[in-house]
Structure 1
């Protein structure tokens, strides 16, 4: 797939950033000219000339003093406007790139990693326009003007200023390389702190129960020590770069004074020349931070590309209906898999724990036929491809070989040639870790069907065995559930996900180990409520159910049992 557009790649944004750099260069050059002209004015005024001879310099000082903040403010407006516009475009492009990767290519990535990539990393990339491009262009413009100005007055001094600019460029390159080298260790150390902190906070009771609390806290202390060491290394590099910049300015000032002493120039002009390198310090100072931002942007771009440039696990045949219009739900006549093989191989990781990513298939050849309203179970050992099968059924993964067909209007149709949205709209998925959003009970369910009424929601809850839950809640359907489903038991979370699937009115419900984390009595209760009674989808039919499980609960309630074996065994 084509990678997302890089920051500032749009011509209009490149032009605006270039304009911002030019405006910043004028502001910086105005500051240099202000310092140099002020030096000339003070030195000339000390000679007590006629006041009229100083008027030009006085006006110039006022002009440069006004121009500096005006152009700096203008630069900020232009650069931030372009940066925010680019950020909005990049975020939209990132979300569009994530859609075909979800969930197959993102399953083994922590949510925090994905969120960091699409929020913080993209922000770091785009902010490089303001924090890197604009300061570098501004410094280059100011340096070029300073070289030209001093060369016209005194070519030897112009040569010194040119050498200063070359030295600054070399130090900037070295500073960037140092930052890039130390940044990797710092990022890795911080990631380890996050990982260990997450372990300690989420598994505190278990760690205490097995007497490993001291070991875990020692791991956390060691991780913090690694961060401190990496930070000290990075700070030393930044301090060295900043100090080197100041040393270059000091050396240039001394060299300019030595060169100017031997020139046939008036003392005020010599003062102007000597103060020029000093004034350039304002143009040089932002470069240390710019090199740091450049290193951060480079690392962020690498992480973002690693996420967004993966090959999608499914191919979208196109938009639904003529001219992209959805023609609405079609009658479901069943589905069939014939000699299907599938694998999670390719760029990116597996979406399913237990299914190892490999070049060879982890499923198949496998046959399955499902009639409307039928309930089937899929059993097999860990790693045999059960979850891979469900990913194929839900159109989260393309099969490597075989046929996947659905029946409608008395004829079979290849599911792989259907628009992805339509194929996925046929199947509701309930996994072993159902997510409960930090919002109301109503909103948690109507995500599956936004137009559902309260009566529809209550009916779906009742079908999932939660009919008594809503009356017990303080605000009924408006009761806000905590992040991660706090306030709900494991069985209630599973039932809530099943209610969401019922509310969707999809003709097929796919259950991936829905009671894996529940105790046997609760598991039996949940599956009995789901399988023992036929659930009406709202249009006169009953949803077909595909249950993947490695537990015996509920198997006596299904119509058929399919066994999946590993293709290499």
Structure 2
């Protein structure tokens, strides 16, 4: 994962320098203030204090200035890196969809990748910058105290080394806790989703109590994992404070034995306390580093898979109305397993085919093969007589519009929800497509027409309206082959019949394959294929 390994190094170094100057200004401010207070108590000539007074003011103004520069640099680079990483990772996910996404939904996978990438990229801001900044401040403190008293410089260097060892120990504890925490959160999510989505069914079979017990156990496990994780952060925070207290006492002893002026002694004694403020962020840094490592491993594991489609062809498809043919095709989502087939299917231009069968008979698998999302395990898939492996995957996919059983409605206006299927479509094209797909009355009732916000935070969309919106996108795409996966699965009989009537009207002249476990609208197809396995006596 080159993009995850190389992002943010040089920008983080510059941001770390600005942050180091900010922390150094803070250390210098504290040290100078300590010297000034003690020296002023001796009532010297005021002119002897002017340099220190000016220094206090200068350091006080420099600290927020350098901090501002560090924040600008680190956050700008992090946001740019995040945009680059998301673009490249999303592109790498496309060949893996949907065959390599496992049992998680596409939205769950995408949300997980977004969170993981954020953790990885933010580690530049939360880990590298604080560590580099603290290193710059520590180096300044070692040089300053060493110039005043060599023993004091050795003490500060020793304190710095012990803090580094403490941080590494805390990081080891955080690394150990991350897998436990991830597993605990996943179990809570699974149990909560089971309760939220299937409560009526669980109650019907008398399993509600068992599932709630599972959810309670999952929360208990999560609490245990969180306590385990907190040890690393507690170790770093408490250890830094203990080391700082001990170092301050030893520093006072060293300064006293050196018989230094009282003002210089005050300066040396406050340095450890000032440095403690620079390394306390290490507690958050070790947690961010452990999370980033876990997240990077998760993204790399997801992407380090062989694509389900061997995109080795370079040919392009010239026909605008392709003739698709499956010859003895078998396919499966897992290597060595057959989920559908062998199937023979002839899809001449304009032909309509219905695919039915029991659950698990391979209806969606067959559709995935046609959509060029899954390679056949055996047999041939031909486009105008050419094997799909001779064609670029994109060239085949550009011929097909896929409508799945849970079409997504984006939290945006209607125009944006439709234009993604055909960005150069005019408003009139969008309105015409809505009318063709049976949404004329619905559209006329919208308060702001195409500018009406729908989805989350906007106007609600019913199941039938959602199905018709997905069909509208397919119509707008102008693609000659339409693949429909359970388009009326969640609708009542009357609505399903109405939707399928609009489907056939809107797709006139196009090749259509509709997968369904229901029979509404299948009387209009040219052929029905039943994938239910035949029993062998």
* Cα distance change of structure 1 residues 143 and 482 upon mapping to structure 2, 3 Å threshold: closer
Q: Where does the alignment leave 5 or more consecutive residues of structure 1 unmatched?
A: 322-326, 346-357, 537-541
- Rounded to whole Å, the distance in 2 between the matches of 1:225 and 1:280 is 39
- Rounded to whole Å, the distance in 2 between the matches of 1:234 and 1:285 is 17
- Rounded to whole Å, the distance in 2 between the matches of 1:108 and 1:247 is 48
Equivalent position of 1:100 in the other structure = 95
If the length of structure 1 is used for normalisation, what is the TM-score? Answer: 0.81
The counterpart of 1:509, out of the listed 482, 502, 507, is 482
Once the two structures are TM-superposed, the CA of residue 562 in structure 1 deviates from its matched residue by 4.0
Alignment of 1:260-339 (within 5 A): 260-316=255-311, 330-339=319-328
Alignment of 1:486-525 (within 5 A): 489-519=462-492, 523=496
| CA displacement 1:102-126 (0-9 Å, x = unmatched) | 3333373235533433433222222
Equivalent position of 1:242 in the other structure = 237
The counterpart of 1:343, out of the listed 329, 332, 342, is 332
Equivalent position of 2:79 in the other structure = 84
Once the two structures are TM-superposed, the CA of residue 388 in structure 1 deviates from its matched residue by 1.9
Any idea what SS the aligned residue of 2:260 has?
Answer: coil
Equivalent position of 1:430 in the other structure = 403
- Rounded to whole Å, the distance in 2 between the matches of 1:443 and 1:141 is 49
Is it true that 1:399 corresponds to 2:366 in the alignment?
A: no
Any idea what SS the aligned residue of 1:98 has?
Answer: helix
Equivalent position of 1:372 in the other structure = 349
- Rounded to whole Å, the distance in 2 between the matches of 1:488 and 1:518 is 13
Q: Please report the RMSD computed on the Cα atoms of aligned residues, expressed in angstroms.
A: 3.7
Once the two structures are TM-superposed, the CA of residue 418 in structure 1 deviates from its matched residue by 2.8
Any idea what SS the aligned residue of 1:376 has?
Answer: strand
Equivalent position of 1:449 in the other structure = 422
- Rounded to whole Å, the distance in 2 between the matches of 1:33 and 1:484 is 51
* Cα distance change of structure 1 residues 169 and 105 upon mapping to structure 2, 3 Å threshold: same
* Cα distance change of structure 1 residues 59 and 257 upon mapping to structure 2, 3 Å threshold: same
Verify the 8 A CA contact 2:418 2:473 in the aligned structure 1: yes
Any idea what SS the aligned residue of 1:6 has?
Answer: helix
Once the two structures are TM-superposed, the CA of residue 530 in structure 1 deviates from its matched residue by 4.6
* Higher helix proportion: 2
Equivalent position of 1:151 in the other structure = 146
Once the two structures are TM-superposed, the CA of residue 543 in structure 1 deviates from its matched residue by 1.4
| CA displacement 1:512-569 (0-9 Å, x = unmatched) | 23344445565556556656x7953xxxxx11222334455555543334454779x9
* Cα distance change of structure 1 residues 535 and 181 upon mapping to structure 2, 3 Å threshold: closer
- Rounded to whole Å, the distance in 1 between the matches of 2:414 and 2:356 is 33
- Rounded to whole Å, the distance in 2 between the matches of 1:199 and 1:341 is 33
The counterpart of 2:67, out of the listed 50, 59, 72, is 72
* Cα distance change of structure 1 residues 225 and 445 upon mapping to structure 2, 3 Å threshold: same
- Rounded to whole Å, the distance in 2 between the matches of 1:53 and 1:535 is 91
Equivalent position of 1:558 in the other structure = 525
Verify the 8 A CA contact 1:320 1:421 in the aligned structure 2: no
Equivalent position of 2:116 in the other structure = 121
Q: Where does the alignment leave 5 or more consecutive residues of structure 2 unmatched?
A: none
* Cα distance change of structure 1 residues 566 and 262 upon mapping to structure 2, 3 Å threshold: farther
Equivalent position of 1:61 in the other structure = 56
If the length of structure 2 is used for normalisation, what is the TM-score? Answer: 0.85
Once the two structures are TM-superposed, the CA of residue 204 in structure 1 deviates from its matched residue by 4.5
Q: How many residues align?
A: 536
Verify the 8 A CA contact 2:484 2:512 in the aligned structure 1: yes
Once the two structures are TM-superposed, the CA of residue 319 in structure 1 deviates from its matched residue by 8.3
